[in-house]
Structure 1
Amino acid sequence: MSAPRNVVVVGGSIAAVTAVDTLRAEGFQGRVTVLSEEGDPPYTRVPLSKGVLAGRQPPGDTDLGGLPSGVELRLGVRATGLDAGARVVRTTEGDVPFDGLVIASGARARRLGVPGHPRARELVLRSRADGLALSDRLAHASSVLVVGGGFLGMEIASTCCALGKQVTVVDIAPPLDALVGPYMGAVVRELAEQAGVVLAVADKVTLLAGSDTDPYPCAVSTGDGRRFEADVVVTAAGDVPNIEWLAGSGLRVDRGVHVDERCRAAPGIVAAGDVAVLDPPGSDSAWRRIPTWTNAVEQARVAALALLHGDDAPVHRPSRYGWTEQFGWDLKMVGAAAPTGEPAVLDGDLTAGQAVLAWPDADVRHTVMAVNHPTPPARLKRLLRGAV
């Protein structure tokens, strides 16, 4: 298939911006149109649960900056369908034709409440608007209940503690274990409890609807009969890829847009970021969606190159890098999630609060983590491979 002349990018995330930047950096001079459902120009979500929620950064600091010259950014335009054969994206503002398409429609916060219930307006933290709504509620609250103990949930809990709130975190598994493993999970949970956070594990968590006067929920119940209440309840229970607009398009959209090793979903159509599912060739079970900032950037670069160069584009190889900041600690991690067993110490001393750790040992490594350590991500990746 020949290189496109008219590229449409659906989404306003870091994946969308990276794809556009890559197209222009490769010398693409054709038309580029970016369709973003949000009313704000593209921004990064990373500081929303940290500096922005804490009030240390204004929301405008999250802006990603202007798009390259000649790129048309259309805000407040939602994609409603895709006719892959006619090469048209259906939107709330009419049809938008393309001969090259980048699907970067991202994901939305997973919600526990019943959709459309008049008294279940959940607070989540996915967008800048979500952050403003949460900040407004926190200004009048003394206690916060966070449902979900992943990176986002624990970052919200950490920030709320720093704001002087009483914080409870409820999850169906010990917080952070599924990400950093039980060893480091226990270390960070101890930090959280020392900061005053109450941690609870329950086999089932149900959001209770708000009142007639205040539709925001303020309590959850658990499968074992416990009830947790707070002035503010925030759900941080993962995300859901935005794929509904692709129904009937002919693309494979099972829990995300399935793409090959070059992020191609169909001829002239690529996908990247939280919406994309990597489908390795010759495998029916290894496909996965990796909703991280780093993966979104790396996928978007490969996707844009594949749109221009086809089989000559590089293959996407997930770097498996992630990081979090919470309770005064900074964790950077490469390799497999949820490492088991006790790690080897490659540098520093964890009891002193600064170390580089490797699992399962110093010789055969599948996970490396820097804890409050200045080691940059590139060196962590070298350490993962056994290099210095």
Structure 2
Amino acid sequence: MHVDRNYENIVIVGYGIAGMTAADTLRSHGYQGRLAIVGGEPHEPYSRPALSKAVLADVGTIEPQYLPASDHGARVFLGNRAVALDLKRSSITLDNGEHIDFDGLVIASGSSAKRFTDHPREFSVRSHDDALRLRTRLHDQPSVVILGGGPLGMEIASAARKIGCAVTLVHRGPPMASHLGPYLGSRCSEAARAQGVELIDGRVAEVCAPDSADGPITVCLESGQEVGGDVIVSTIGDAPEGDWLADSGLLTDGRLKVDTRGRVNEHIVAAGDIAWLPTADGHERQPLWTAAIEQAKTASLALLVGDEAPPLDFQSYFWTEQFGLTIRVSGDFPVHGEPEVVARGQKANPDALLLRWSGDAQSAAAAVGYRIAIPKLRKVATGDFLPS
């Protein structure tokens, strides 16, 4: 596959896994022109999933779990954010006033955590610095109220209990069920309760700041119930970092929509949390680490070769560690119904399970404490591999 567009100056906005993957893909497919990357954080790319799985539980000074160094040779702007895009001038404006011109653009600016308030005792975890601030506070063993029972909320709850904090988690319905389905969700809930987490089924109406400096923060639920804690951790989702595109003309109803190859237009592509991908029901985001990698590969190649690039086509993969459970899943999640037990027990973990769901509308597999390579787990989901 050859480069059929004579780009001289490509800019990538965002230096997470999508931005880094895009840079590597451009170089590996023959792009030899100037390359610039704008990274809003002061860090080189690091593992964002590790923040809640490992960083919070560590003790002492830590560094981000940096990704392997790349030889993309780009000029990198660390600690600078894009604040505007001028399509007529083909130029990006940074928060320091600098302008960067381009003839090809990859938008991978990611997302930011949603919050209820700006109170200093309401925490969120999106960046490494966020995780450090929260971990420092948790080691004082405060009472913690976690809002949201998805993977991030449950992993933080697990870390907080390991540190010794009293933990209450508020979530509408069973935690993890909307991500994994009722079977695996129930296992996660059981493990959380067994380790002392109080689970409350409810929807948050308001978070109220304390009347005094050391008073509890109060979470008011729609049911009228109130829950108080020394700190609040909001894991209620994310919002795409698209404000800098507001006047660009690229957004549709506030969304950066792309085609099946990640293209916004002929010379602009997008990948990762910022991109809204076409589906049978419209457009949706896929805010997963592995999805960002695959999107970046597809989109950056499409920038170079257009329709010669294959459309995005991959089987999703996701993993979580919480309350002693290590769960890896691949395929169409969430899943419903009882799974088929493909394998049970391993030398390292007699309680390990390898599970599969299959039917007209779903094909998925999960490894619960079961060691299996990712490619093989994907083949279990499709029925192309069953361990002997």
Change (3 A) 1:210 1:101: farther
**Equivalence for 1:353:** 351
The CA deviation at 1:171 is 1.1
User: Hey, which bits of structure 1, 4+ residues long, moved more than 6 A?
Assistant: none
Over the aligned positions, Cα root-mean-square deviation in angstroms equals 2.3
Q: Report the Cα distance in structure 1 between the residues aligned to 2:316 and 2:177, rounded to whole angstroms.
A: 17
Instruction: Work out whether 1:339 is the aligned partner of 2:342.
Output: no
The CA deviation at 1:165 is 1.3
Q: Report the Cα distance in structure 1 between the residues aligned to 2:254 and 2:49, rounded to whole angstroms.
A: 23
> Residues 237-275 of structure 1, C-alpha deviation per residue, up to 9 Å, x if partnerless?
111101111112121344542111111111110100111
The CA deviation at 1:189 is 0.6
Give the secondary structure class of the aligned counterpart of 2:178: helix
Q: Report the Cα distance in structure 1 between the residues aligned to 2:293 and 2:160, rounded to whole angstroms.
A: 29
Q: TM-score, normalised by structure 2?
A: 0.91
Residue type of the alignment partner of 2:237: G
Residue type of the alignment partner of 1:273: G
The unaligned stretches of length 5 or more in structure 2 are none
**Equivalence for 1:279:** 278
Equivalent pair of 1:38/1:76 in contact (CA under 8 Å): yes
The CA deviation at 1:318 is 3.8
2:87 to 84, 107, 122: 84
2:21 to 4, 18, 23: 18
Instruction: Work out whether 1:330 is the aligned partner of 2:326.
Output: yes
Instruction: Work out whether 1:42 is the aligned partner of 2:45.
Output: yes
Equivalent pair of 1:365/1:385 in contact (CA under 8 Å): no
Change (3 A) 1:210 1:37: farther
Equivalent pair of 1:365/1:384 in contact (CA under 8 Å): no
Change (3 A) 1:244 1:360: same
Q: Report the Cα distance in structure 1 between the residues aligned to 2:81 and 2:64, rounded to whole angstroms.
A: 25
Residue type of the alignment partner of 2:88: G
Equivalent pair of 1:12/1:105 in contact (CA under 8 Å): yes
Change (3 A) 1:270 1:58: farther
The CA deviation at 1:177 is 0.6
Q: Higher mean Cα deviation, 66-75 or 33-42?
A: 66-75
1:95 to 77, 84, 99: 99
Change (3 A) 1:294 1:79: same
Map 1:290-301 → 2, pairs under 5 A: 290-301=286-297
Give the secondary structure class of the aligned counterpart of 1:135: helix
Equivalent pair of 1:9/1:104 in contact (CA under 8 Å): yes
**Equivalence for 1:239:** 238
Q: Report the Cα distance in structure 2 between the residues aligned to 1:167 and 1:256, rounded to whole angstroms.
A: 36
Map 1:196-345 → 2, pairs under 5 A: 196-211=196-211, 213=213, 218-254=217-253, 256-280=255-279, 285-345=281-341
**Equivalence for 1:107:** 111
Q: Report the Cα distance in structure 1 between the residues aligned to 2:270 and 2:235, rounded to whole angstroms.
A: 25
Question: How many positions carry a matched residue from both structures?
Answer: 379
Change (3 A) 1:360 1:386: closer
**Equivalence for 2:372:** 375
The CA deviation at 1:349 is 5.7
Q: Report the Cα distance in structure 1 between the residues aligned to 2:219 and 2:199, rounded to whole angstroms.
A: 14
Change (3 A) 1:193 1:73: same
The CA deviation at 1:69 is 5.0
Change (3 A) 1:56 1:65: farther
The CA deviation at 1:346 is 1.1
> Residues 293-333 of structure 1, C-alpha deviation per residue, up to 9 Å, x if partnerless?
00001111111111111111121114221111111111111
Q: Report the Cα distance in structure 1 between the residues aligned to 2:47 and 2:254, rounded to whole angstroms.
A: 23
Q: Report the Cα distance in structure 2 between the residues aligned to 1:187 and 1:49, rounded to whole angstroms.
A: 19
**Equivalence for 2:151:** 151
Q: Report the Cα distance in structure 2 between the residues aligned to 1:149 and 1:255, rounded to whole angstroms.
A: 27
Q: Higher mean Cα deviation, 123-132 or 135-144?
A: 135-144
The CA deviation at 1:22 is 1.1
Equivalent pair of 2:141/2:165 in contact (CA under 8 Å): yes
Residue type of the alignment partner of 1:268: H
Give the secondary structure class of the aligned counterpart of 1:381: helix
**Equivalence for 1:166:** 166
**Equivalence for 1:185:** 185
The CA deviation at 1:338 is 2.0
Change (3 A) 1:163 1:121: closer
Q: TM-score, normalised by structure 1?
A: 0.91
